[in-house]
Structure formats: C-alpha cells, structure tokens
Amino acid sequence: MEHIDRKSLYTSLEARIDYLHKFLDFDDRDLEALAFGSKFVKDLIPAVVHIVYRKLLQFDITARAFEIRDTRSEAPLQSVLDDNSPELQERKNFLNSYLTKICSDQSKMAFWEYLDNVGAMHVGLRRSKPLRVEYIHISATLCVIQHVLTESILSHSVLPMSRRVAMVKALSKVIWIQNDLFAKWCVRDGEEFTGGAAAMARADHLASAGDVPLKESAVSTCPFSGMASGVQS
C-alpha cells in the first residue's frame, strides 16, 4: 500500500496532480490517446463553445457571470445578452483558448498549473477584473463539455471503437482533474494546512454569500435527537 502524505495534497500542486494521476491510472496510454485525438477535438471546439454558452444563457444566475461577473449577485441583468455581446465574446474566446489548451502536452507540469490557474480565476483571483462563479455552475458546465465531447467522439464511426473509447477515457480523466482543481479553490478540505490565497478566497466567498461557519451554527445538537429519544421512550 502506497502512503500519501495528506498535507502535501493541499500544499503542493505537483503532489496533488501526482496522486490524481495514480488514482485515475492516467498514464502514457492516455497521453497517446489525447495526442492522437487532439486534431479531432480541436475541430469540435466551435460547436462545444456554442452549445456551452447557449446553455449558460438559459439561466439568469449563470448569465450574471458575463455582465455582473458574480453568480452570487442578486442584481437584475441590465441587458439582454446574445452572441454579439462583448461580455459574451470575451468569455467565448476564453473557452476557445481553454479547450485548445486541453489538447496540448499533458505530460508537462505547466499544463496542470494552467488548469489550477483557471480554477483560481473563477474565485476572484489572478484577474484584473475579478470573476466569481460558484462551484455548482462550474461543475455543471464541465459536465456539459464532457457530454458533448463524449457523444461526438463515440459517434465518429471512421475511427476504430478502441480509439474512440481510449480518447473518451483520457479526456474524462483530464476533465475530472480539472473539476478537482476547481473544487480545490472552493471546498474547505485541508484548510488547516493552507493560510494563503485559497483559504482567503473561500472565506471571502462564504462571507459574501452570508454563510455561517459550522462551529458558529445555532444548531448545537443533532436535529434528530428528539426523534431518537421518542423512539427510546
């Protein structure tokens, strides 16, 4: 049994990525599948971008990320966003660049550092104009991206099924590691080890949202304790 140092998962990005690679069996076979399929995935990018932003504009809470740049805000949208809106074009260009980057060399640590930086950028860090998107919307968007890519790849009958399956598996691993690198900036796990930007971003996020830390909650006993005593009597 291999020992994993828990603290390193929260204080070292390289250790975190190494653990995820081992847990998900992300190896040279995945790198080969991604390299083989990169041109095909790049051809899909315009369609993926269109589908993702059509989905995001279906809901006012996700549309706030474009105009107000904060999904926590309750402020009403001041304009009707469409494909020609400058705010939307900016985000579309980013997603286009992001998906292109996904097709680059995943064997380099710089690739995973880029994915981690994307996570930080969505909690108000590392941007001249802060952007705050809550994790629920991020994970749902990643799911849409994964579904579109998976369906498109599996439907590509020209490729042998073994190739298609390998591409889907490899892309899924990358997307789920990206999901973790979003969650890393949003969840409280490992806070005893981190006192820097991630912890501050989470604290600010909770304070702005009006959340009350668990230890300060008015509920000091199990909410079902009365039921338990009633059963015992």
Distance CA 189, CA 48 (A): 32
Which whole number is the average pLDDT over 117-135?
Answer: 90
pLDDT at 192: 85
Which of 38, 71, 66 has the alpha carbon at shortest distance from 54? Answer: 66
- Give me the domains of the chain, ranges plus CATH numbers: 5-188 (1.10.490.10)
Distance CA 86, CA 83 (A): 8
Report the chain's mean pLDDT, rounded to a whole number.
85
Structure confidence by residue, pLDDT tens digits, 6-24: 999 999 999 999 999 999 9
Q: Identify the band that residue 128 occupies on the pLDDT scale cut at 50, 70 and 90.
A: confident
How deeply is 76 buried, as exposed, middle or buried, from its count of CB atoms within 10 A (0-12, 13-18, 19+)? exposed
Which of 169, 160, 173 has the alpha carbon at shortest distance from 106? Answer: 173
Which of 143, 119, 139 has the alpha carbon at shortest distance from 131? Answer: 119
Q: Identify the band that residue 33 occupies on the pLDDT scale cut at 50, 70 and 90.
A: very high
How many alpha carbons fall within 13 Å on the CB side of residue 142? 24
Which of 187, 220, 210, 225 has the alpha carbon at shortest distance from 72? Answer: 210
Q: Identify the band that residue 233 occupies on the pLDDT scale cut at 50, 70 and 90.
A: very low
Structure confidence by residue, pLDDT tens digits, 42-77: 999 999 999 999 999 999 999 888 888 889 988 888
Tokens 């190494």 -> residue: 18
Distance CA 176, CA 101 (A): 16
Q: Identify the band that residue 204 occupies on the pLDDT scale cut at 50, 70 and 90.
A: low
Answer with the residue of higher pLDDT: 196 or 96: 96
Asked if residue 116 has pLDDT above 60, the reply is yes
**Helices assigned H by DSSP within 57-85:** 60-67
Q: How far is CA 142 from CA 73, 74, 172, 189, 190, in A?
A: 22, 24, 10, 21, 24
| Structural tokens at position 226 | 């009365």
Answer with the residue of higher pLDDT: 126 or 151: 151
pTM of the model: 0.80
Answer with the residue of higher pLDDT: 159 or 84: 159
Distance CA 135, CA 141 (A): 10
164-200 burial, b if ≥16 CB within 10 A, otherwise e? Answer: bebbbbbbebbbebbbbbbebbbeeebeeebeeebbe
pLDDT at 83: 74
- Cα first-last separation, the chain: 47
Q: Identify the band that residue 194 occupies on the pLDDT scale cut at 50, 70 and 90.
A: confident
Asked if residue 104 has pLDDT above 60, the reply is yes
Which whole number is the average pLDDT over 135-141?
Answer: 96
Asked if residue 118 has pLDDT above 80, the reply is yes
